[in-house]
Amino acid sequence: MIALPFRQVHLDFHTSPDIPGVGADFDPREFVATLQAARVNSITVFAKCHHGYSYYPTQVGTPHPHLTRDLLGEMIEACHAAGIRAPVYTTVTWDELAWATHPEWRQVSASGGTAGPAGSPLRPGWKNLCMNTGYADYVIAQIEELLGRYEVDGLFIDITRYVGGPCICATCLPQMLERGVDPEDPEQLARFALESERRFMRRCTAAIRAIRPDAGIFYNSRLRVEGDPELGNRAELDDFTHLEIESLPGGFWGYDHFPLYARYFETFGRPLVAMMGRFHTTWGDFGGLRNRAALEFECFQALAHGAVCSIGDQLHPRGRLDAAVYRRIGEVYAEVERREAHVAGSVSLPDIGVITAKGGVRESLTVPADIGALHALEQLKHQFHVLDKGCDLSPYRVVVLPDAVSVDAALAQRLRDYVAGGGRLLVTGSSGLDQAAGAFVIGDLLGARYVGPAPFAPDYLALGPELARGLEEFDFVCEQPGLQIEALPGAEVLARSGEPYFNRTWRHFCSHQYTPLERVSDQPAALRNGNVIYIARPLFSEYAETARRAHREVIGNALRLLLPQPRVGEHNLPTTAIVTVRRQGGDLVVHLLHYVHQRRGRHLDIIEDVLPLHDVEVSVRAERRPSEVRLVPEDAPADWEWRDGYVRLRVPRVQGYQIVRIAGAA
């Protein structure tokens, strides 16, 4: 398995042909000195950019018209002389020069227009090329040229997918007809595009390994959470030596993307890189500098999930790194360097596996049910992974199917085997429902028979005492439509549906939003059937949309019934604190994070201030009594006691991030 440095920079350099003096101010000694001062030990440098120009004397492609030096070669040579790793960047689907000069290579969108973010030749931005055309030969020839010219540590191959949807160009359509693919069927079209992408990657990987078998390989813009392992990245793993989660919270990713993806890709058995950015927003924000607290949190969150860090930057066209940017990176990487020894080789210790509700939506990064699960379980301090339907369920004490997980016969049998072996399930909403058959596929596990859609939406939760723990005596609303069910013999009713007077329509409505409660019905809304709890409302999606505390607490109370001894037990932490527990050798390593983001501006969540926590108390389930407990990297003793299988910690102060090492307890 490839060993990855913890303190990386990903250096973009997408430079217009209309800008003169490209690389004119580049000084190899200054370049390396700046990186060393910032404690950077790996930097991804650039061979070809989205504008289509190369930054070395290529014989295959086209050098940038205003470049008069081998900028790539000088960067690699200087980095290697200083002991800094230097993978090389190139791009696939976006190449403006190739798009302009080779019309036969252009991707055609399913609507017949220009494919890509620009959407039109009259708009600034990138336009897509097709990997089924001769363009693929061109890209691979450039990669072979790079590997033949330079000591390349690895390749970061960007935009390796059909951004925005499949292609129906003059090359793709005959291939579809030859393979019996109906281009008018969106599902067949999407699968053809997926196989085209994978065919390109297989060709490219084979070319790389024929020349440099030990090189790192990563194809970017492909990572996605996907329920069907055949449609997701698990089927592509032979083409990846590691996985880089590109997630700049100032861009469209936001702060939910990385932790969800990290909890999913931890199950893949590949080293993880967490890529954030120095920009205030996202790529190309030349005049934006990330707040220190934000960049700290993003790097520290990476460590808390066992990932190494990569901070995105973009080089000025004249070739000098920005001193202020690398002071900021250096401030943060100094703190990363102090902590990385407590992360290397560690593994997560999840109690819960959440099967993703996402399936087959290529352009959607996340779905509400998954986001609701992330929010609720993080805030409840549970340790969990996100799973696809091919994952082994046996490592998890509880498996969760949030709201909209489709269950086929194979998964149904695996769930039955899991429960028969002592596993426990929490199922919500329409998960496990076969809409066509009008029945639950796993109704025997749920203890429920499907009757139909719930007659009222919104309706109310009339909670029994086990699910109402810690909540006000109140009938809480469920705004999103649920299911009407009947309890099978032996199932215990944990909650019932509270019915409003009527549904809100143009014919009759009440007040501003929805109709008040009229009565509590006999219809069950939540059931317990042995080791399975079923809630007939989409509470995870509800929580993602409205963040009602009651919905999170109902989820938490259900999990308390199923998981009475979670990895993280009693604590006095606020819901804004994040806790991850990992094993490193024979030790438990506890990561405590508290950085609070706030919505400022129209669509941007900002972290600017560190809000310390004082007199923190938290209990961590351990396999045995520890030999000692220390705060690291400070190497200071922590106050603790051992009781009922838990190490009960007391931490005087958490200034944003604190690691606690529990020695000999794993």
| Shared-domain flag, residues 154 and 188 | yes
Q: Is the pLDDT of residue 429 over 60?
A: yes
CATH number, domain of 46, equals 3.20.20.80
pLDDT tens digits, one per residue of 95-106? 999 999 999 999
| Shared-domain flag, residues 336 and 363 | no
| Residue 21 CA, distance from chain mean position | 39
The whole domain housing 643 covers 569-663
* Paired residues of 460 in beta bridges: 477, 498
* Paired residues of 426 in beta bridges: 400, 533
| Shared-domain flag, residues 376 and 499 | yes
Q: Is the pLDDT of residue 601 over 90?
A: no
| Shared-domain flag, residues 75 and 183 | yes
Residue 285 lies in a domain: yes
Which residues contact residue 111 at a Cβ distance below 8 angstroms, ignoring those fewer than 6 apart?
none
Which residues contact residue 113 at a Cβ distance below 8 angstroms, ignoring those fewer than 6 apart?
119, 120
User: What is the C-alpha to C-alpha distance for residues 238 and 204, in angstroms, rounded to an integer?
Assistant: 12
Query: What is the chain's mean pLDDT, rounded?
Result: 97
| Shared-domain flag, residues 95 and 231 | yes
* Selection from 350, 366, 87 nearest residue 215 by Cα: 87
Q: Which two tokens stand for residue 647?
A: 């190490």
| Shared-domain flag, residues 85 and 229 | yes
**pLDDT-based confidence at residue 1 (cuts at 50, 70, 90):** confident
Residue 142 lies in a domain: yes
| Burial of 351: CB neighbours in 10 Å, binned 0-12, 13-18, 19+ | buried
| Shared-domain flag, residues 449 and 513 | yes
Q: Which two tokens stand for residue 313?
A: 């930057």
Residue 469 lies in a domain: yes
- Please name the residue ranges forming H helices in 402-507: 409-420, 443-446
| Shared-domain flag, residues 356 and 324 | no
| Shared-domain flag, residues 422 and 499 | yes
SS (H, E, C) 176-189: HHHHCCCCCCHHHH
Q: Is 33 helix (H, G, I), strand (E, B) or coil?
A: helix
Q: Is 639 helix (H, G, I), strand (E, B) or coil?
A: strand
Question: 147 vs 77, 143, 242, 452, CA distance in Å?
Answer: 14, 6, 19, 60
Query: Which pTM does this prediction carry?
Result: 0.97
| Shared-domain flag, residues 361 and 260 | no
pLDDT tens digits, one per residue of 361-400? 556 789 999 999 999 999 999 999 999 999 999 999 999 9
Give me the percent of the chain exceeding a pLDDT of 90. 98
Per DSSP, 394 falls in state T
Provide the pLDDT for residue 362: 57
Q: Residues, the chain, total? A: 666
> Domain total for the chain?
3
Radius of gyration, CA atoms only, the chain: 27
| Burial of 324: CB neighbours in 10 Å, binned 0-12, 13-18, 19+ | exposed
**pLDDT-based confidence at residue 3 (cuts at 50, 70, 90):** confident
Residue 486 lies in a domain: yes
Provide the pLDDT for residue 558: 98
Of the residues 533, 562, 591, the one at which a domain ends? 562
- Please name the residue ranges forming H helices in 38-117: 71-81, 96-101
Q: Which two tokens stand for residue 231?
A: 């449609």
User: What is the C-alpha to C-alpha distance for residues 52 and 90, in angstroms, rounded to an integer?
Assistant: 10
